[in-house]
Amino acid sequence: MQNPKNKQLALRKTVLALAIGALGGNVYAATNSTSDEKKAEDTIVVQESAASDFKTGGDTPVPAYLDGQIANGGRLGMLGQQKAMDVPFNIIGFTSKLVEDQQARTIADVMANDAGVQSVKGYGNQAQTFRIRGFKIEGDDMLMSGLPGIVPRQVMDTQMLERIEVFKGANSILNGAASSGVGGMINLEPKRAEETPMARVGLDYTSDSQIGTSVDAGRRFGNSNQFGARVNLLHREGEGRVNDDRRRTTVASVGLDYRGDAMRASADFGYQKKTFHGTNTGVKISNANVTELPGLPDNDKNYNQKWNYSDIENQFGMARVEYDLTSDWTAYAALGGQHAHEEGIYSTPELVDNNGTVNVSRLDTNYIADTFSGMAGIRGTFDTGFVSHKVNVGYTAMTKNKKTAWGMSIGNLPQTNLYNPQQVTMPALTLTGGNSYSDPLTTERSRTESVLLSDTLGVLDDTLLFTIGARYQEVVASTYNVNTGLENQDEGQRSHRWLPTYGVVYKPWEEVSFYANHTEALQPQSNGITGFPQYGSRMNIAHSTQNEAGVKLDFGNVGGSMSVFEIKKPYGYTDLTLNGEQRNRGVELNVFGEPVLGLRLNGGATWVDAELTKTQDPDYKGNDAVGVPSFTAMLGAEYDIKPVDGLTATARVNHTGSQYANIANTKKLDSYTTLDLGVRYRMQLNQEKNQMVWRVGVDNVTNENYWSGVDDSGVYLFQGEGRTLKASVSYDF
């Protein structure tokens, strides 16, 4: 039930907005509308409607800033969609409008808009992984509408997504079944049919010769538009800007939803297939003879083999339902699953000296994974005297079954040079794992389940909010012999414990929110060892903790936050035990908004001190963690060029500081800065009934050549993308 004081405040704001509009002033507020499509006086009505549709804790996305590109909030796991100002956590959302305007193809492209997130590739393949606050989150472990295990393997396209939301910090209390991401979590929200029927076709180009076509259509049905359907299709293929790098992407998705008076439900089904042929995968630098980091090859040079390829195919789906038992109590449930199949022949150049000589290896992999996850619970509000309560009781679970067969070549490998690469004959397989390559046996099973109890207590008209919660979580992980299918008795792991969370929010003014929290995480960990045969086996189960405090601002036209944090996580580097500890302390700054009509800004900076506070080897104690830059910054801007209606110029600068490439801190990557520029033109056709948008952008305009990062163990070194041209046109009818 809404507080009378809040009703009066909302009424005063509405009257004030109408008065300013009548005087011809400009009113800025969080909105999904497009500023270059709407006049200022019309914007007020749209904004008021968007804000009124939002329901705390439900599935309706938080209204967005910046021409509809950034939302100050997002989904907090089982707590549903929440405005950032009302919760003791750090969360921000990027919308499909930002994806379209920046021509972002994958999640990594979107994460370039957050200085606190670092994008890194996987172990000798195309997997996109991320570091949030200096800790890795696997791309496979991202969430879809709060459910783990649904997101396609390694690389996720953006075509079917409405929101990409970033949560900062340990998050087991919110996302108990997620497997990684102690520094944070990324949640993806699929597109839904809007009130107005839409159909959009698109054509895009990426240098040197990648061509894509797409379809996005949505419509609502029923007497009160209670039924909705959204369909997305995409096909893109061609050669990238690196010679002989050929890629193909196919995406198809259907999103259905129902919005009734008491019940809301949705179902999403998707298919994605990504193929990489001859694509650079990084450089292996772990050979003892490599005493320094290699010089940079030309960033359009392909130092991999043409026979190197990866095919990744995923089918996934999920269903959600909410039912209002009363006006104050809602029951909810969700269920989803994914089938992933990856097959490929991988070849990562392995440096064997300081002159660029590399071994050409071969690794054949057939990987199959089936994942199922679900959640159910009840949330509600009530008062006890002068204290308000928002409670949530829920259960989550996830199971994963992996099957893997492999083959590899070792010894007497052909050689070439990193700076003058040559094609070589594919080496023969000398070692295999798995009785049947085409039908692998189960090699790993894991199960995570938990129960959540939480309560947010409000006093002083909810200007002071206390969040207390606990999740009882159990994690079970087992590995199996790749040849016999029998369980490895010495590697099975099982752990369970209560994970408490405490948080406080104080809002002395409507526009200012102070917050603090203590959160924890319990997650299975894979080892970072690259030597055979332990590679990829289960290490242990890590218990991590975080403490954080900060302030958030929301003035309607400008918002932002400042936070300080400390995260401690056990880790293992040289054996199968978690006998080390990494402690990351940092400061984050973030600001976004439209300070002047037609000028939109989004910027941030992050300072991280990532220290190895406990190590097996005492020589490494106190060293900096591998691959974590001490400073990162980003500033993006858009400017509507008048008097040309619909013309907008865009720019973004990203800076990443230096980072160590090995645990001994004897190898260090230089800092680098990239500049992206672009322009878009939105034109109305047929008496403004139809719309066409042209977009042209150049990433890394200066063609900066740089090593972008290393994996957590300091084994694989990755080169940044060179200058890339992107162009697209979309037509709405």
User: Which amino acid is located at 654 in the chain?
Assistant: N
Could you list the beta-strand ranges (E) of 261-386. Answer: 263-277, 283-284, 309-324, 329-346, 350-351, 357-359, 363-384
User: pLDDT tens, 166-210?
Assistant: 999 877 777 765 666 788 999 999 999 999 999 999 999 999 999
Whether the per-residue pLDDT at 55 is higher than 90: the answer is: no
Question: Shortest CA distance to 545 belongs to which of 574, 581, 580, 572?
Answer: 581
The pLDDT value recorded for residue 41 is 36
Rounded to an integer, what distance in angstroms lies between the CA atom of residue 541 and that of residue 493?
A: 7
The pLDDT value recorded for residue 206 is 96
At 47, the pLDDT band (50, 70, 90 cuts) reads: very low
What is the pTM assigned to this prediction? 0.89
By the 8 A CB rule, do 562 and 577 touch?
A: no
- Flag the least confident range among 282-286, 383-387, 496-500, 651-655: 496-500
Whether the per-residue pLDDT at 371 is higher than 60: the answer is: yes
Span 325-350, average pLDDT: 95
HSE-CB of 261 using CA atoms within 13 angstroms: 3
Span 640-657, average pLDDT: 95
Span 40-53, average pLDDT: 40
- Flag the least confident range among 17-31, 317-331, 408-422, 461-475: 17-31
Average pLDDT, the chain: 87
Who wins on pLDDT, 89 or 46?
89
At 45, the pLDDT band (50, 70, 90 cuts) reads: very low
At 46, the pLDDT band (50, 70, 90 cuts) reads: very low
Who wins on pLDDT, 492 or 495?
495
Question: Domain boundaries in the chain?
Answer: 4-732
The pLDDT value recorded for residue 44 is 35
Span 381-391, average pLDDT: 95
DSSP structure class, residue 85: G
User: pLDDT tens, 417-461?
Assistant: 999 999 999 999 998 998 889 899 999 998 888 899 999 999 999
The pLDDT value recorded for residue 293 is 94
User: pLDDT tens, 532-585?
Assistant: 333 444 446 778 889 999 999 999 889 999 999 999 998 765 445 667 899 999
- The two tokens of residue 162 are 């409405």
Whether the per-residue pLDDT at 528 is higher than 50: the answer is: no
User: pLDDT tens, 95-134?
Assistant: 999 999 999 999 999 999 999 999 988 766 788 899 999 9
At 359, the pLDDT band (50, 70, 90 cuts) reads: very high
- The two tokens of residue 353 are 């000296």
* Alpha-carbon distances of 540 from 1, 33, 135, 490, 575, rounded to whole Å: 46, 48, 17, 11, 11
Please provide the CATH number assigned to the domain covering 4-732.
Answer: 2.40.170.20
